Amino acid sequence: MAPPTPPSMPTGQTFTHFAYIPDLGANILYICIFGFYLLVQVALGIKFRTWDYMGAMLCGIFLEVAGYTARIFMRKYPDERTPFLMDNICLILGPAFLAASIYLCMGRIVVVYGRRLSRLSPRSILIIFICCDLTNLILQGVGGAISSTSLHQDQIQTGINVIIAGLATQVTSLLMFICLGVEFAFRVRSPSQDLAKETGDLRETKVWKAFLFGLALATFCTFTRSCFRIAELSQGFSGPLANNEVTFMVLEGAMMIIATGSLTLLHPGLCFQGHWKAGKEQWPQDHGVVESVYPKDGNSVNVTIETKEVQSTAVLGVKDMA
């Protein structure tokens, strides 16, 4: 069955890639929202020097803007493959960079509450989940390129299968991340656990609690979006989900707008109160880990624990011991 002829196109001409014309107003609205987030991310990233977080967020948001811009060009050039290629690849890859931003936050959250409460160290969290993210990024990019440029149905289906494999990897890594986060939350709530004392004031602030909620919301929205894309692509580009714009704009577009908004308006630079870099520097290093101890007299003692293969040495430095 041939695709329907959109009312704005000449009689006899069909819209090549979808059974609908991408809505101009909705796509412009999404471009404006993501564009606003982009500017806020640049401003806050520079102010708080969250370079790694800003880099991942800017890549993700830029791809979202490019993807919805391509959908507008698809209205004017329905037979061109370039806008379809941009739309397909950009909107598939964008959320992977946003997920990387979420992973960057988790390691620092562990530092705020205490490393011993997490099953994995902050460094391990970053390495494991960024590697998973890179894997699904490559799979989705390769699959998107194959499916968007191929002319034969079997090649297109091969590309779709590769995309689905990448999305499945993303869903699996997000599910692992959610399980790790839930377990960590239960450990934090356990009355038997001693939380890091030096960050107690930070953890009690409303903006910190809002940040944790926003991060959980962003994770849920990204997970929901990825599950939708698997269901959509499992039916192929000619399936009902791929040709329902309302469903796409809600479960793809709106989910990512909510996720990006949470990661932007509840920016970690604000919520960590300028200590984003400090959280990274406290990760375990070869030269040791610095922790604070508070004796009964109230004086602060910094303890440096050197970790080696065979031995460990504790060096005590006492300040203000009058």
Q: Does 9 map to a domain? A: no
* Banded pLDDT at 276 (limits 50, 70, 90): confident
In this structure, the dihedral spanned by the alpha carbons of residues 278, 281, 287 and 291, taken in order and rounded to 10 degrees, is: 40
The reply to whether 291 and 172 lie within a common domain is no
Tens-place pLDDT, residues 203-238: 999 999 999 999 999 999 999 999 999 999 999 888
The answer to whether the CB of 236 falls within 8 A of the CB of 243 is: no
Percent of all residues in the chain with a pLDDT value above 70, rounded to a whole number: 81
Q: Taking the CA atoms of 236, 239, 241 and 244 in sequence, report the sign of the dihedral they define.
A: positive
pLDDT given for residue 294 in this prediction: 40
Identify the pLDDT of residue 138: 96
Reported as a single tens digit per residue, the pLDDT across 294-308 is 444 544 444 444 433
| pLDDT over threshold 60, residue 92 | yes
Helix (H, G, I), strand (E, B) or coil at 93: helix
- Report the pLDDT averaged over residues 165-178: 97
Residues 71 and 49 in one domain: yes
Given pLDDT bands bounded at 50, 70 and 90, which one contains residue 18? confident
Residues 187 and 315 in one domain: no
Domain limits for position 233: 24-284
In this structure, the answer to whether residues 228 and 160 fall within a common structural domain is yes
Q: Let me know if residue 13 belongs to a domain.
A: no
Residue 311: the pLDDT is 36
Q: In this structure, is residue 4 part of a structural domain? A: no
Instruction: For residue 150, give every residue at least 6 positions away whose Cβ sits within 8 Å of its Cβ, in sequence order, or none.
Output: 156, 158, 159
What is the model's pLDDT at position 228? 97
Question: What integer pLDDT is reported at residue 278 of this predicted model?
Answer: 59
Say which residues have a Cβ less than 8 Å from residue 27's Cβ, sequence separation at least 6: 68, 69, 71, 72
CA distance 146 to 163: 9
| pLDDT mean over 264-293 | 65
Question: Half-sphere exposure (CA, 13 Å, Cβ side) for 290?
Answer: 11
Per-residue confidence (pLDDT) for residue 150, from 0 to 100? 81
Q: Are residues 223 and 78 in the same domain?
A: yes
Tokens 């922790």: give the residue: 291
CA dihedral (193, 199, 205, 210) positive or negative: negative
Is 39 a domain residue?
Answer: yes
Mean pLDDT of 235-263: 95
Mean pLDDT of the chain: 84
251 shares its domain with 300:
no
| 111 assigned to some structural domain | yes
d(CA 82, CA 199): 50
> How many domains does the structure of the chain reveal?
2
With respect to residue 109, please indicate whether it lies within any of the assigned structural domains.
yes
Higher pLDDT, 149 or 106: 106
- Please report, for the domain that includes residue 216, its CATH number: 1.20.1070
Helices 51-76 and 24-48, interaxial angle, to 10°? Answer: 160
pLDDT average, residue stretch 21-44: 97
Nearest to 234 by CA among 152, 141, 168: 168
Residues 206 and 296 in one domain: no
The distance of Cα 232 from the centroid of its chain, to the nearest Å, equals 21
Q: Are residues 302 and 234 in the same domain?
A: no
Q: Tell me the per-residue pLDDT of 129-161, one tens digit each, with 9 for 90 and over.
A: 999 999 999 999 999 889 888 878 888 899 999
The answer to whether the beta carbons of residues 37 and 261 sit under 8 Å apart is yes
Q: Are residues 302 and 158 in the same domain?
A: no
pLDDT band at 282 (very low <50, low <70, confident <90, very high): low
In a domain, residue 312? The reply is yes
Q: Is 7 inside any structural domain?
A: no
* Together in a domain, 135 and 238: yes
How large is the average pLDDT for residues 239-244? 92
Of 13-17, 102-106, 201-205, 318-322, the poorest mean pLDDT is in 318-322
Residues 172 and 106 placed together within one structural domain of the fold: yes
**134 and 37 share a domain?**
yes
Please tell me the predicted confidence (pLDDT) of residue 277.
74
